[in-house]
């Protein structure tokens, strides 16, 4: 049995990239996982991959910014697996611009997906966790340590030119993490964040031609990094390279294990040794 045997996890944005690797890692260690993606196909593919490896997973398709999504996400875990032990707020993307060119739409979209959506998911989870803890207490059972891992970024710790919206949202995630750690300690819930550095995903891959894009709710958004800039960024990392999604998932997993039961309100930097 894995270290997360019998645990139930929800991972937002887990159809692709880092989120997918987080879901696969948690499932490989025995957790039952609710998979979320904006699109049905990536979510279904991740569910299928987990099931093919002998794990348990179910999909919850939709945007984390939709009204009522938090309640639906949490309820999916309860309906499918009868519990809620691990919450990973991972969903997000970037929409960059220098501040004088940044629109209200850009600001609102990024703050909504990176900060408001985790707030909604955690707010929806509170009555469920409270009820589960009360039930355990009344039956004389030990209250197991539950885990929240919110995904932040080095941009939230040190800022990043062209990312005022993203940096502000990711800094807010750290504040949200610290506040919830104080509120939920009485439920035996640890609340931590992981701040990623340069991780290889479709958002940060080399874009020599400059035309890499993703589509979010009908909006085409340019992604990718100039190869020269990417090489310069990697030279600043002591390990000399960007990280992989699997390595990023490993950092999240550390904060989901029983060995981290007395670690809370912390921000773990997963950046290959890079510091501002």
Q: Which residues are catalytic?
A: 166
State the pairing for strand pair 56-59/189-196.
unpaired
Q: Do residues 22 and 253 touch, judged by C-beta distance below 8 A?
A: yes
Q: How many CA atoms lie within 13 A of 68 on its CB side?
A: 2
Q: Please state, in angstroms and rounded to a whole number, the distance separating the CA atoms of residues 244 and 116.
A: 27
Structure tokens at 53: 């490896």
Bridge-based pairing state of the strands 189-196 and 267-270: parallel
Q: What's the per-residue H, E or C state across 71-129?
A: HHHHHHHHHHHCCCCEEEECCCCCCCECHHHCCHHHHHHHHHHHHHHHHHHHHHHHHHH
Question: What is the C-alpha to C-alpha distance for residues 19 and 245, in angstroms, rounded to an integer?
Answer: 8
Tokens for 175, please give them.
């504040």
- Nearest-CA neighbor of 193 among 114, 132, 120? 114
Half-sphere exposure of 47 (CA within 13 A, CB side): 16
């Amino acid at each position: 049995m894995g270290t997360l045997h019998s645990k139930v996890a929800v991972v937002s944005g887990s159809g692709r990239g880092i989120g997918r690797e987080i879901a696969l890692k948690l499932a490989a260690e025995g957790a039952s996982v609710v998979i979320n993606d904006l699109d049905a196909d990536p979510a279904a593919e991740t569910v299928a991959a987990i099931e093919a490896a002998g794990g348990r997973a179910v999909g919850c398709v939709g945007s984390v910014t939709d009204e009522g999504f938090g309640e639906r996400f949490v309820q999916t875990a309860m309906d499918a697996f009868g519990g809620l032990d691990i919450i990973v707020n991972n969903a997000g993307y970037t929409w960059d611009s220098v501040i004088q060119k940044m629109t209200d739409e850009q600001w609102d979209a990024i703050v909504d997906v990176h900060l408001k959506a985790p707030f909604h998911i955690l707010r929806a989870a509170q009555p469920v966790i409270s009820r589960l803890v009360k039930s355990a207490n009344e039956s004389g059972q030990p209250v197991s340590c539950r885990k929240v891992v919110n995904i932040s970024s080095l941009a939230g710790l040190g800022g990043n030119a062209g990312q005022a919206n993203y940096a502000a949202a990711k800094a807010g995630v750290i504040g949200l993490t610290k506040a919830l750690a104080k509120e939920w300690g009485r439920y035996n819930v640890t609340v931590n964040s992981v701040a990623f550095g340069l991780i290889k995903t479709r958002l940060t891959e080399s874009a020599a031609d400059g035309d890499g894009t993703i589509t979010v709710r009908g909006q085409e958004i340019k992604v990718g990094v100039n190869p020269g800039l990417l090489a310069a960024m990697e030279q600043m990392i002591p390990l000399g390279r960007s990280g992989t999604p699997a390595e990023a998932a490993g950092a999240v997993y550390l904060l989901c294990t029983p060995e981290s039961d007395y670690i809370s309100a912390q921000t773990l930097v997963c950046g290959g040794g890079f510091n501002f």
